[in-house]
Structure 1
Amino acid sequence: MPMISISHGEWLETPKPAASDHLICAIGDVHGRADLLEPLLEALSEDVSGPGVERVTNIFLGDLIDRGPYVKDTLGLAAGGLAMFCDERVPVEDVLLLGNHDVWLKAALEETLHVDELHVWQSNGAVETWHDFAVAASDRPDRIVDTLRRNMPEIVAEAVARMVPMHRIGDWVFVHAGLDPRRPLEDQPEEIVTWIRDAFLEPEDGWPFEVVVVHGHTPEEPFEEPTIRRHRINLDTGAVFTGVLTAIQIRNDRMRFVQASG
């Protein structure tokens, strides 16, 4: 594995305040880069025991799998979460969000993945994931699914099963891809929050909600830097092709970015 460096950005003013005793962390699209995720989780854990921190929420923004070289290790790290790197003095809640790639894996484990979806998955980076779980891409669809289910460690299967489309903390909403500004906030189907792009990234009629969205899914230039807009913060810095994995820390009215690079 390459040498990994960790960098902490300066503390910036947040678009919306969070509770002062609550440290919120979120991690962008990993795509199998466990070599970046592990040192990033270690770096985040060092800040958990800071003065005045009484609770921590860590959110994986989805797309843990596919394309990258260490998918199995990535899923194992996500299953353990930030809590695995922290002592028990401060309670840590880990939340795993569904990305569009994770939806395929979850459906396969639940035996609800259709053959046409399997083919779409295969053409979107599934081969790296399947390889890590000893799946032959040339097998029949039913054998691919059976092998995935059989070779998936129980702790990982349980973590995938509890993946959710969205998580909200006060005026902050965390999703993989974004929200549709043309629909009510309470009516955002899984397909939208895991796939949407343009209508969310650049809403034509302004942003109708009071919340700020932290998301991934769509790397934006300059790719190695997170994107900050009035209504959203994008943490997808294209780890699988830039070698930069980005997290955000939010506390009170301040936020900063932490990156693992290599």
Structure 2
Amino acid sequence: MPGTGRLLALGDIHGCLAALDAVLDAARIGPDDTLVTLGDYVDRGPDSRGVIDRLIALESRCRLVPLRGNHDLMFADGLATFCRDPDRFAEPWSSPILMTWLECGGFETIESYGGLDAVPPEHAAFLGRLRNWHETDRFLFVHANYDPDSPLDGQPEDLLLWTSLREFEPGPHRSGKPVVVGHTSQKNGEILDRDHVLCLDTYCYGGGWLTLIDLGSGALWQADRGGRLR
């Protein structure tokens, strides 16, 4: 996106609203800034609903580019399943996809809403407009991983959303641009920097930090799930 503001990227939030508010306030996000959020907004942390509320509000505060994470996909699929057949949740074991979501933090997301029947339509609409990738003149952005030999519009969704860097660590992308990702939690709370790959999932929900970075200056803001800045 054109503009004179900063290009920023934000790692996996996982329902940690206090951390999100802390890094946004510290960075003083403005209308000229482009903020690429790398997905996994929901599950595991305490306030998935609040996180989605805040991201929707951010769309009027800056140039927000929200990517889709595997947890956001599971939430959207679970919500669609509930809308089609609410009784399915009485026997979730009958659906492997549904059980995977619930076991990976879906219960916490449902609790934050007070039930899937309380998910606002604007939240469902937000989930529907998430992107699988983003490209600028200097960087590529995906949630999880990529095939270094394929353009972003030719990448398999399983790779973009699900494949950990611990399963497959790709080489440099054929574009020559570094790729900014999340998904693979860095449990030491530090960014993984391989020059051609930068992983910003620093394990906020599990005791690490939420990471926001200015990709132009290298300025960094981190907060824990309680909102304490590092």
> Which category describes the TM-score, using the shorter chain as reference length?
0.7 to 0.9
Instruction: Report if aligned partners of 1:213, 1:232 keep a CA contact under 8 Å in 2.
Output: yes
Letter in 2 for 1:95: V
1:213-228 aligned at under 5 Å gives the runs 213-220=179-186, 223-228=188-193
Is 2:33 the counterpart of 1:56? yes
- Work out which of the residue numbers 70, 93, 97 in structure 2 matches 1:100: 70
Letter in 1 for 2:95: V
Letter in 2 for 1:66: D
Whole-angstrom CA distance in 2 between matches of 1:162 and 1:201: 28
Q: Which residue of 1 aligns with 2:209?
A: 244
Deviations 1:29-83 (A, max 9, x none): 011100111121112225x48xxxxx32111110110011111111111111264
Distance 1:132 1:190, change over 3 A: same
1:179-194 aligned at under 5 Å gives the runs 179-194=146-161
Q: Which residue of 2 aligns with 1:24?
A: 7
Instruction: Report if aligned partners of 2:149, 2:173 keep a CA contact under 8 Å in 1.
Output: no
More strand by share: 1
Q: Calculate percent identity across the aligned residue pairs.
A: 30
TM-score normalized by structure 1?
A: 0.73
Is 2:121 the counterpart of 1:154? yes
Q: Alignment RMSD, CA only?
A: 2.6
Deviations 1:85-120 (A, max 9, x none): xxxxxxx21111110100011223444899321111
Whole-angstrom CA distance in 1 between matches of 2:3 and 2:56: 27
Q: Which residue of 2 aligns with 1:117?
A: 97
Instruction: Report if aligned partners of 1:58, 1:82 keep a CA contact under 8 Å in 2.
Output: no
Instruction: Report if aligned partners of 2:43, 2:106 keep a CA contact under 8 Å in 1.
Output: yes
Compare CA radii of gyration and give the structure with the larger one: 1
> 2:98 aligns to what SS in structure 1?
helix
Instruction: Report if aligned partners of 2:142, 2:160 keep a CA contact under 8 Å in 1.
Output: yes
Q: Which residue of 1 aligns with 2:90?
A: none
Give the stretch that moved more between structures: 121-130 or 208-217.
Answer: 208-217
Whole-angstrom CA distance in 1 between matches of 2:59 and 2:215: 15
Q: How many residues align?
A: 215
Q: Which residue of 1 aligns with 2:144?
A: 177
Task: Structure 2 unaligned segments of length 5 or more: list them.
Answer: 86-93
4+ residue runs over 6 A deviation = none
Give the stretch that moved more between structures: 21-30 or 231-240.
Answer: 21-30
Q: Which residue of 2 aligns with 1:45?
A: 28
Distance 1:255 1:83, change over 3 A: farther
Structure having greater relative contact order (Cα 8 Å, sep ≥ 6): 1
TM-score normalized by structure 2?
A: 0.82
Task: Structure 1 unaligned segments of length 5 or more: list them.
Answer: 1-17, 50-54, 85-91, 136-147
